[in-house]
Amino acid sequence: MNPLIDPFGRAITYLRVSVTDRCDLRCIYCMSERMRFLPRNELLSIEELDQLCAAFVRRGVRRLRFTGGEPLVRRGFLDLLNSVKRHLGSGLDEITVTTNGVQLAEFADPIFAAGVRRVNVSVDSRDRDTFKHITRRDRLPEVLAGIDAAERAGLKVKINTVALKRDNAHEIPDLIMWAHGRGFDITLIETMPLGEIDEDRTDQFLSLASVRQDMASYWRLTDLPDRTGGPARYVRVEETGGRLGFITPLSHNFCEACSRVRLTCTGRLYLCLGHETSVDLRQTLRGDGAVGALDAALDAAIAFRPKGHDFQVDRLRTPATVRHMSVTGG
């Protein structure tokens, strides 16, 4: 079967699948306190999500990452993992999960058994009060317990931290030291202008270019060629021996070699993080649903893929997209 190639010659090899827009946290950079989530009857069934994942693997996707919202709150999520693992070794290289960690203590062993070997866990602070402020929930102990459980289960843990000028900038070096001390990679992420929230993103934006420049005054940072399928650029912190990633959608975009598309829990395929360009695959799935019809829909969708996003720091007060980060999981 022909691979999916966009108009700029980039092959689509990585699919991010948001299995729900619901979350058990309310992070200030992601959503408002009083979010209105989708009615459950609008979501694709687990079987439909499985069918779409299979269609993408058939067309050359080698990495599946399941996100949310929070994927571990989606009923039937383990059934989906146990079904898609049949593709491992038959076109699919890996299945990964991004989670806030709140439910991870319960799910670490089952998701390992379902073929997952890597998890990304969001930790924006190790200070309980700061964590509660950022997430609007007092759940740090559960997150840390989930990380411990993931490590015991044999999962490779990577920490994701959204850099916030006002709330956690001072804590970033300590977070890096903690993660590297545990043997975890850690990736810093600039806040992104996705959806209306209760905060002013301009006040919170922290350029990771300036963070890296500051770090270079007290750590030796060695550029690494490593890629994990995502947009992070990596360095090794020589003093810790650990790997540190930077995801910089504003200060240095990552579009030139982007191999990712995003599927929502309603079956809408977003072709770029920073654009509203999308195609409704649910209609095809519930209409004809045949392999040929899905393949034609994927070809038609990829033909509209833009060259890249256009996030600008001076436009942060106005979201670049109407959809929240919880719709596509970043």
Q: What is the pLDDT of residues 221-237, one digit of tens each?
A: 999 998 776 788 999 99
Burial (CB count <10 Å: 0-12, 13-18, 19+), residue 223: exposed
Taking every pair of Cα atoms in the chain, the longest distance, rounded to a whole number of angstroms, is 60
> Is residue 8 in a domain?
no
The whole-number average pLDDT for the span 230-258 is 84
Give dist(CA 36, CA 21) in Å, integer: 10
pLDDT at 307 (0 to 100): 79
Rg (CA), the chain: 19
Query: What is the domain extent for residue 287?
Result: 14-328
Q: Which range scores top for mean pLDDT: 23-37, 172-186, 259-273?
A: 172-186
Give dist(CA 262, CA 273) in Å, integer: 8
> Is residue 31 in a domain?
yes
DSSP string, 223-237: E-----SSS-EEEEE
> Is residue 298 in a domain?
yes
Q: What is the pTM of this model?
A: 0.90
> Is residue 107 in a domain?
yes
The CATH number linked to 61 is 3.20.20.70
Q: Is the distance from CB of 32 to CB of 197 less than 8 angstroms?
A: yes
What end-to-end distance do the CA atoms of the chain give, in Å? 29
Give strand pairing partners of 94.
63
The whole-number average pLDDT for the span 80-106 is 98
> Is residue 128 in a domain?
yes
- The pair of three-digit structure tokens given for residue 278, joined into one six-digit string: 């999308």
> Is residue 3 in a domain?
no
Give strand pairing partners of 185.
158
SS percent in the chain: helix, strand, coil, step 5: 35, 20, 45
Q: Is the distance from CB of 149 to CB of 104 less than 8 angstroms?
A: yes
pLDDT at 319 (0 to 100): 47
pLDDT at 326 (0 to 100): 53
Dihedral over Cα of 282, 286, 291, 297: its sign: negative
Mean confidence (pLDDT) of the chain = 89
> Is residue 135 in a domain?
yes
Burial (CB count <10 Å: 0-12, 13-18, 19+), residue 309: buried
- The pair of three-digit structure tokens given for residue 63, joined into one six-digit string: 């990495």
Amino acid at 31: M
Residue 300 CB neighbour total at 10 angstroms:
11
pLDDT at 52 (0 to 100): 97
Per-residue pLDDT tens digits for 276-308:
788 999 999 998 767 889 999 999 999 989 876
Domain count, the chain: 1
Give dist(CA 113, CA 22) in Å, integer: 24
pLDDT at 273 over 50: yes
Of residues 314 and 6, more confidence is placed in 6
Of residues 152 and 205, more confidence is placed in 152
- The pair of three-digit structure tokens given for residue 262, joined into one six-digit string: 């995003």
> Is residue 170 in a domain?
yes
- 89 sits in the region (left: phi over 0; alpha: psi -120 to 50; else beta) called left
In the structure, what pLDDT confidence band is assigned to residue 316 with cuts at 50, 70 and 90? very low
Per-residue pLDDT tens digits for 174-209:
999 999 999 999 999 998 765 555 566 667 889 999
The whole-number average pLDDT for the span 52-81 is 97
Residue 40 CB neighbour total at 10 angstroms:
10
The whole-number average pLDDT for the span 242-269 is 85
